[in-house]
Homo-oligomer: A and B are copies of this chain.
Amino acid sequence: MNSKTTQLKQLLTSNKLEFLMEAHNGLSARIVEEAGFSGIWGSGLAISAACGVRDNNELSWTQVLDAVEYMSDATTIPILLDADTGFGNFNNVRRLVKKLEQIEVAGMCIEDKLFPKTNSFINGEQQPLADPAEFAGKIKAAKDTQVDADFCVVARVEALIAGWGISEALHRANIYRDAGADAILIHSKVSTADQVLAFKSEWCHDCPVVIVPTMYHQTPTSVFQDAGFSIAIWANQLMRTSITALQRAANQIFESQSIAEIEQQIVPVKEVFRLQNTAELQAAEKQYLPASDTETLSVACDNGIAARQMS
């Protein structure tokens, strides 16, 4: 199997539309892989929401790393990490790239906003953008730092979110491409695909373009395919699925003061064990534990109950 970085590079450069599915912890990442997806979006919104904090860099960058490390350990498909603004300046980006490569995260997406960031769907027009030259420096620094040639740096353009228009978006995208970005993510929060389609029709480079159709989810996927986009990111639907299900279940259990009903609706405990790959450990115990360990004696109790053999 190709390395995770090569897999992500191939998704970015393939001739057809590919998909990344959001995950926010090791469990959801594994479920995404089992569903058949070729790659994972390590969503900043979803990771922060899972932790119970805001998508405003309330998590330190090393706390984000901790979360994505579990995701990477739990899967064999590539993860593109939503790395916000890079968590500081070009120097912070350099450290980030080194650490991401170590934990086998295949790429990162950084956005041209200021630290600490605010989610793009919250008062986007009022959010200041980064100086594009400064942001280009981050991209260059990231590309110069990576050791694995296939590690991917995706530059997210927030000009449309901030209301600056298509020409500014194109202007910035060009700068970021020149700086070495492996792909451009053009973000939009209007409810149609008009903005991203307009951007794409003006984009005359072979540098791949990535989209996040959260707000324009009613646009048929074929439209994105036909327009030549590289990757569509389903950016937060599993987080929202989890919230929907958890709220319903918690309310039901609270009201009924019983789990008898919910037990019929959910996977059994052994499905949790399967997802944790318990079977592998049981096989490994046979391989690495001495036979004598299955005969461990517990210390005898003073009330006369004899220590018994544990099979």
| A interface residues, Cβ below 8 angstroms from B | 19, 21, 25-32, 34-37, 45-46, 48-58, 60-63, 66, 70-71, 73-74, 87-92, 94-95, 98, 102-104, 115-116, 119, 121-123, 125-134, 136-138, 140-141, 162, 164-165, 167-168, 171-172, 213-214, 217-218, 220-221, 234, 236-251, 253-254, 257-260, 262-263, 265-269, 271-273, 275-278, 281-282, 284-285, 287-290, 292-294, 296-299, 301, 303, 305, 308, 310-311
Contact = CB atoms under 8 A, between A and B. Distances in A.
Nearest to A131: B299
A226 to B, nearest CB: 13
Contacts of A71: 52
Contacts of A165: 305
A70 B53 contact: yes
Nearest to A73: B52
Contact of A52 (B27, B129, B267): B27
A35 B251 contact: yes
Given A253-B21, A259-B217, A272-B243, A131 B51 contact: no
Contact of A217 (B247, B263, B285): B263
B49 A27 contact: yes
Contacts of A272: 45-46, 49, 236, 239-240, 243
A229 to B, nearest CB: 13
Q: Quick one: copies of this chain in the complex? A: 4
Contact of A164 (B104, B244, B251, B308): B308
B116 A89 contact: yes
A88 B57 contact: yes
A168 B48 contact: no
A266 B240 contact: yes
Contacts of A37: 250, 254
Nearest to A90: B288
B90 A284 contact: yes
A126 B294 contact: yes
A122 B310 contact: no
A252 to B, nearest CB: 9
Contacts of A88: 57, 115-116
A125 to B, nearest CB: 7
Contacts of A62: 60, 62-63
Given A88-B115, A234-B259, A237-B262, A131 B298 contact: yes
